[in-house]
Structure 1
Amino acid sequence: MSENTSITELSSQYTAQVTSDLERNTKEQERIADEIAALNEQLAALQRNHAVLVSIQQAIDAVPAPADTAEKSGDAVTVPAPRKQSSSAARTSKDAKANKTTKAAKPAVGKRSGAAKPAAKSPAKSRAAAGGKAVSAKPAGKAAPAKTAQPTLVDLVRRHLGEQSEPRSAAEVTTALTQAHPERSIKTTVIRTTLEGLVARNHAHRTKQGTSVFYTASDAPEASESSPKDAAQAVPADA
């Protein structure tokens, strides 16, 4: 009888201990599940903010840079003032000019009165010729080359999803865009963030198959491209 009683007491104790452990384990699972849900919400908010910030940065990069102001206005060059000639040099220059004028006038005196004088150019023709030389001598201004704005990564991803008939993963989208645009550096992490941003704005749908995530284009009409200022206002307060 004593052995049966001790066995019954031990069984009762073990049963109570196991029941207590099960309750404690269940409560711990519920607590951890709540924490995971809260962390997932924070992660989703951070991903949305990151996508918005990436689109703002790409929109800023797509704006063409202003032309160099030095080409428009020209570099300011300081021209030194001419030096004043000394009084002796000025007198020597005047005497030389007077001698040249006298030598040029002497042959005209010895000519016959009936000799034909060369026709003087009219002032209008002189001005026209001078104006033509001035116009032809003026260098043509450099035409600033037009800079074509490249499409942003958001536009490329959205266009690629719209052209596909089946869902695509972030890795597949990265491979396709890298082959189509080898001159751009495209990373899978940036593509995944961009896709999550499109999902947050209802421009794409996300489906999960096992451990893989696939994306498809949304049937909703695409919103007009927002300016960097509007995109900056769209950033949530917890960014």
Structure 2
Amino acid sequence: MSKNPPAPSVTADYAQRVTDDLSANRSEQESVRAELARLQEELVRLEESEQVLTKMQEVLGATPKQTAKKGKSGKTTTVPAARRSNGKAAAGKVGTPAGRKTSKKAAPPKKPGEPTWLELATAHLTGQSEPKSAAEVSAALTEAHPERAVQVTVVRNTLEQGVAQGLLERSKQGRSVFYSPVVALSAQPGS
């Protein structure tokens, strides 16, 4: 009489299959995490652009009520105008309507004569021999300018602004993003 195949080989096959499935699951999780991080960075850039565009719109004299947004339904919705007191922006802050508190992400106002965050970040990166992350630039600016409240989010947004203006380059290494100054064509060998 023949016996059934030994149970250990079936168990080993299932164990290998579970191990393979677990490995594939973890790889997929990593892929999704990377995509999520990319989308979060893109959202931060878009929010920054929205803030800049809103301020530009206010400077140009157009109020948010005069513009319309289209939703997914295709219908046009009106955005309420910013609150004003006596026709002027409250508290003397440009771009901050009365009754609205500034968010944690907003950069503290700079004093007259102080360099902008973009100027500080660009100057710091220009003196570096290798690309730096937003956290590294933030730490360096905190050390160099202890009198100014340095926030990593503000520095990251500033670095992205520098990329948008063509002053800085962004590079990715795995899930990390690094920034470096744009090398001028005349500075490159062979030009």
TM-score by length of structure 2 reads 0.43
Greater length-normalized contact order (CA 8 Å, ≥ 6 residues apart) = 1
Larger radius of gyration: 1
Q: TM-score, normalised by structure 1?
A: 0.35
Structure with more of its chain in helix, by fraction = 1
